[in-house]
Structure 1
Amino acid sequence: MTTVTTPTNFTELGLIAPLLARLTELNYKVPTPIQAQTIPRVLTGYDVIAGANTGSGKTAAFALPLLQHLHVEKSASHVGNEKGNYVTRLVLVPTRELAKQVADNIKSYSVHFNGAIKTLAIFGGVSINRQMQTLSGGADILVATPGRLLDLISNNAVKLDRVKTLVLDEADRMLSLGFADEIAELLALMPKKKQVLLFSATFPDQVTSFTQGLLNNPIEIQLQSADASTLVQRVFTVNKGQKTAVLEHLIKQYQWRQALIFVNSKNSCNHLADKLFKRGITAEVFHGDKAQGARSRVLDGFKNGELDVVIATDIAARGLDIAKLPVVINFDLPRSPADYMHRVGRSGRAGEVGLAISLIDHEDYHHFKVIEKKNKIWLEREQIEGFEADAALADFVEKPVARPAGHGKKKAK
């Protein structure tokens, strides 16, 4: 683990003038801890494993040094200006929405390079022919989902044999069983000598073992905190079959500006939206069966404040940055303890105060205890006046000998 003195400004990180000017325009005043510890190491060429809470500024931590490296290369004897459908910096992400978001952020940081750096987002759900056309001439930075990237490679639309830096964003998901084969196939097409950067909010043991052969003497920077001071986590016990009524009560009583509600399946999204509509609450759904255009409209509407309630599967749990989102609600518990932290991290981002609520009935108790154990947290079980759970539910609560203070009262009114 590496620690350094936290710089008081971005100039101390060694960033060049065009990037510093843009950061000033974006009102970036002081580097976040992950930016302060990561950017200088990436600039000097180290492989990095970086772990930090969601909303901590991980995208800028890798995007800014990538842009600086490219600018230096392009300024020196046309290095980095090769013709052809090559990519020199590759960022792999698990979802379409994250690909677009990361690429948009990189483009925003690079505005003072006057179009000299070409950044593209590549993902499924849209025309591959159009993406093949945009890749003509290659790209300096390609942000891609693995499946669509492999499709483009099979069509000779892009080549990876000149990749100098590989970034795995949401690395725990990228190196899980769902993506491991695709990642291995892509790695075989890249040079063995390259800089590798891994960023995530969580690093399960199986991911850590996978990275041993992927990185060269990496610097490890771990800044995760399960008890972020800006995020309040609460757990309400309810009787089976009462979750929808409790959800209606919470939304109407607290009248949050916006709420993101997580369920575990596409059908559950639609079913819950229908039930809320009958109770006078309009909610949009966000899941993998929606066309990419429809997903983009929901996400853009939510980010712009045009939508109040969105019900989503875990495709919304990774990396999406929704400014000042007041509350995240786990209507269904996530199957993976790591996904719990990604879900709740949609609120309380970038120093904003946030709230994460989980609704659990007796069938959820044991699984929530696993979530707590894996994430090293313990939350007081609370009840809502008028919706008290049966006393028998207390049998499922095993309180530790000592627990953190300040987790709220047992009954919410």
Structure 2
Amino acid sequence: MSETRDWFARHGGEIVEWRRDIHAHPELAFQERRTAGFVAERLRTWGLEVHEGIAETGVIGVLRGAEGTQAPAIGLRADMDALPIEEATEIAYRSKHSGVMHACGHDGHTALLLGAARRIVDLTRTRGPFPGDIVFIFQPAEENEGGGRRMVEQGLFDRFPVRQVFALHNMPDLEIGRFITRAGAMLAGFDTFDVRVEAEGGHAAFPAVGGDAVVAAAALVMGFQTIVPRQTPASAAALLAVTMIAGGSAHNVLPDVVTLGGSLRWFERPVIEEIRCRMQAHCRGVETAYGVKVILDYQERYPALVNDVASTDLAARAARRAVGEDRVATDIAPIMGSEDFAFMLERTPGAYLGFGNGPGTGGCLLHNPRYDFNDAALETGVAFWTALVETFFEDMQTA
């Protein structure tokens, strides 16, 4: 850690500038063209092999290992996209794009992986190349749009095969210098649904004529809320949330259409399949009971994120090497948030970790219009990525 600290004392200011520049120019899913260009330009400057346009705006930087080596490669991934939120901070580098901001810290993830690439290149110039390749993955569209899935489908690991792949996410309200992870399921699967309730509509004075889409929709909301606590085993961790409902335009008119939607979180595939069946049954029941038509559009989004046991052990050892033995927790409870890094872990063994971002400028809520990544966490991230690469290749040589 002391070597990284000395290196960061010389180069940390530049990494902070990168982070703030990316924060000021946020881009939504699959629109990260400026960010991708920013990343690619720097990777080329340091001599990495650069590949652009994977999943539209994804960037891959490859630092080749010793010439002719057949040693396994390691993959390091950062996400680049922002969110459709109007920034409410007063910081000097606040978003220049109305209605778009980095409210999840992906600006920090991108900057610290760039910093790690620079740090690792500098190491190879003094120590010589690592035995195998290091693949730096800058992914678009993590927020809702499944850029990780798109990268895998477009041959990410066929073109750039790696033995293991890893990702980090900042954790607000976790002390800077701390890491958390767990073997097995760490983050929940994520699905969404939309429901359209159709009736004839008509005068509010005559609700018996033509059905009442509002009451039917209300019955669906209440019915859906009973599925997890009353129709799913208590031992099965899952959530079903109705987050949207819309319909009607006048006090004395029964609308002909009411829509609602929401999301589900889950860890076990049989559990979510049973919940989906229960939702369909509730829809059929409401159709019969209220004389309306109910159309359920169910979308499978992200699978549960499952960390490989051996990869989790490797990542934890690297984190301890970077920040100390007592600052790494490997026994955390599963988290109901979701991540499309899960698609990469379905294809290749690896692990996902959270790292402390402190209280942050915007408090402890991600996706908050006042959220800002804490620049003090950048050094910790660079130290971890560096220690991970060193530990990975040391393990390969002693296996």
Q: How high is the TM-score relative to the length of structure 2?
A: 0.26
- Which structure exhibits the higher relative contact order, with contacts defined as CA atoms closer than 8 Å and separated by 6 or more residues? 2
Larger Rg computed on CA atoms: 2
Relative to its length, the structure with more strand (as a share) is: 2
TM-score (ref. length: structure 1): 0.25
